[in-house]
Amino acid sequence: MSNSKSYAVFGLGKYGRAVAKELVKNGAEVIAVDVQEDIVNSLVGDIPYCKCADVTDGEVIKRLGISNVDVAVITMSGNLEASVMATLLCKEIGVKTVIVKCSNEMNCKILSKVGADQVVIPESESGIRLAKNLLSHGFIDLVELSKDVSMVELDVRPEWVGKNLIELNLRKKYSINVVSVVQDNRVDVNVDPERPLESSMKLIVVINTSKLDKLRG
């Protein structure tokens, strides 16, 4: 699988390392950065562009070319000041999406206020899962139920609006099973196959992982 977006991952502890490796494994362009040289040296074989640098320094951020990435993932949750500074610098130079790992709810609120587009508490989301969601264009969320099966939440596509599940025959076209419909924060597991889909709906589907690329297309 190839991925057209580019990513920066700041902080290469267990979480950041998992994010960076998963992105690289799926063909994404990744700039991985950590302030500890021994960590960087241990990962150069797995992450081609891995640098030792201080991402709280604006000049360093510019020199690394971070303004050219689509998504920055900041995983230095043990250092709130560094996370805040890196977030501010990334937004200042125009990084469209900044995702920050937090150690607690209060830090999440602080980082959201200084510009983080998404905050993540590691207890509720693994690094690998975050990377898979970043790679899953068109999906709101993706969870691997097993090695071969995934559960995906996705928006109703414009061309699906006004048609029902029988007409769309999504099972045949995409090899997916719709297990519930979400609308107005309500989850309906008793899916009516004759009910026309609306643009405000989201579908929860189960799909063979090997078919995900077909669903993206």
Q: What is the mean pLDDT of residues 174-192?
A: 82
My answer on whether 88 and 182 are in the same domain is no
- What single letter denotes the amino acid at residue 45? G
Give the pLDDT confidence of 74-116 residue by residue, as tens digits.
Answer: 999 888 889 999 999 999 999 999 999 998 888 888 898 888 9
**Kind of pairing between the strands at 71-74 and 176-183:** unpaired
Token digits of residue 169: 């025959």
My answer on whether 77 and 165 are in the same domain is no
My answer on whether 21 and 123 are in the same domain is yes
My answer on whether 123 and 20 are in the same domain is yes
140 near 153, Cβ under 8 Å?
yes
Say if pTM beats, i.e. exceeds, 0.85: no
My answer on whether 88 and 155 are in the same domain is no
Residues β-bridged to residue 51: 33
Give the pLDDT confidence of 155-170 residue by residue, as tens digits.
Answer: 888 999 999 999 998 8
Residue 137: count of CB within 10 angstroms of its CB: 12
